[in-house]
Structure 1
């Protein structure tokens, strides 16, 4: 009986947290849009100096991290869920600040920094995705996390790629990751509209 009660309580918490996350769908849309814009800039400007690439990545991390933290805080107001999303946002900001403080990073140092960030943040996002209800776009959040992990692993496996190739890889990853978050945001928006409609009908 105790186990059943605990499971029901956990399900209610997940439902509540997922519903609150759905009300903030626009933050995921913002994150996805910035990811796509960053990816496009990386493809359109494939030969920037290393300093420009580092600063562009730093700006992207800061914006993405702030958006992730805001969405997590707003979802956590009435539940203990989405702490992993909070950690992901803090990690993004920390990496963005580190890249900004040390703009003279070599290609290898920058690559390892990005690889470590991609693997850790991807793992956090993947775990958080499994806490999202299935009809709220769980697999799109999980896909974004797995994509980050694969991207980080590729960077570790091939650390001697040139700056231009690194830019292309980063651009392709950012666009794919951004697209996953945009689709996730539309899934959350659809659930948020359903929730609003249900409340209106109940009244």
Structure 2
């Protein structure tokens, strides 16, 4: 005999989904209203990330069995990350600028790679759109170099909007899960009648 009962955790899926959605909305609104605070918190985590990865790379440089060149690169990379981490913690605005430069470099590399691959492969589906995405990514990277704080604020506000949209969708999904599941309020009435 097979049981048609839902798994115990699945009964509460709608609650978790609604709570996750509400938290995403609140976090998104907070980020959109106070992007500066979100940037500072992110910059602090960025400094901590540089510190941890710097230490790990320096330790790895002395413990890995690799060529001298490989170990030297690990050591230089780790030492540079440690210097940048110290700069982040000495002055928080350094951390914000470094974060903007890091994101800007990422946008530029992604944009150039995307555009160049689309230019070189004439059979690529959606080739024009890939070229446009590549160009827009490069422009976004340049903006983050030219105006790091303003670029981060804009990026943060977009993130806030995305979180609000995702949160609203999660709340709706949670309500739909409860309504359409076999363990909502109508299911309890149906179970007591049978």
TM range (shorter): 0.3 to 0.5
Q: TM-score, normalised by structure 1?
A: 0.40
Larger Rg: 2
Q: TM-score, normalised by structure 2?
A: 0.41
